Amino acid sequence: MNRHERRKQKKLTKEPPYFKVTDMTPFVLGSYIIKYKVPMTMINEINSQYDEATDLQNWSKNLAGKIRDEFRVDDILSEATKNTFTACFQKYLEVIQKQLWHVVLSNAWINDMRAGEYNPFHFHSSTISDVGLSSVLCLKIPDTYGVEYTKEDEPSNGWLEFNGGQQDPLSISQLRQNVQPGDLYIFPYTMLHGVYPFNGTDQVRRTLSFNCSLIKPGLIEESEMQQEYTA
């Protein structure tokens, strides 16, 4: 670029843009994660039901977590809680404009995660559908996640992380969240997610996960017809 071109370029840069660059409409391709805030009345109810329950089925063999206490809880949850999850799953489908799917609640379980335990990155699946949604609801957290051995300004102890699988330099490939009681995340079965270990406390980090299978209307009708035929 010669001197004349540089002067011309410098003059152009002084001119204001034609419009405010904040006036925009972003479009995001790919999978969504939706976060809800659940009232503490529901959180307290679930914690009480879990703490008072006896003979819960240990669900660890069906899960990816390196966590000792993982118990199936769908039988002890109230109808109000189940209806809340159903409504959140249906709202997710409304947001992504895929309301043709029927929501069928599946298994629910609680993880009581302690220091040194962790949940490796994994995805979910179903025996009745290849398509579904899952969730993470935070029920309680410890007072501390202990020492961050490096990069204290970038904490990860006890944090939930989602991996989108897109490694493009201009994409967002990871989302790391310091979940708080009442935080509810809804996401597709196929989205990789995990929880980092923590240290320095005897308190538990408790979360509830609820799966739902998504069924096409035609399959729902076919299933109902088969039930009527065999009845």
CATH number at residue 110: 2.60.120.620
Whether 114 is in a domain gets the answer yes
CA distance 227 to 217: 16
CA distance 70 to 53: 13
Whether 15 is in a domain gets the answer no
Q: How many domains is the chain built from?
A: 1
Contact 38, 84 (CB under 8 A): yes
The pLDDT assigned to 9 comes to 63
Whether 127 is in a domain gets the answer yes
Whether 25 is in a domain gets the answer no
The pLDDT assigned to 175 comes to 94
Nearest to 158 by CA among 174, 172, 138, 173: 138
The 10 Å CB-count burial string (b at 16+, else e) for 51-60 is: eeeeebeebe
Domain of 185, in residue numbers: 34-230
Place of tokens 């991996």: 163
Whether 183 is in a domain gets the answer yes
The pLDDT assigned to 6 comes to 66
Where do the H-state alpha helices sit in 19-64? 40-52
The 10 Å CB-count burial string (b at 16+, else e) for 138-177 is: bbebbeebeeeeeeeeeebbbebbbbbeeeeeeeeeebeb
CA distance 122 to 112: 18
CA distance 32 to 7: 47
Whether 2 is in a domain gets the answer no
Whether 27 is in a domain gets the answer no
Place of tokens 């501390």: 144
Whether 110 is in a domain gets the answer yes
Consecutive sets of 10 residues in the chain, 231 residues long: mean pLDDT of each? 65 71 80 95 98 95 96 96 97 94 95 98 91 97 97 96 84 93 96 97 98 85 44 36
- The H or E element that residue 223 is part of is helix 217-230
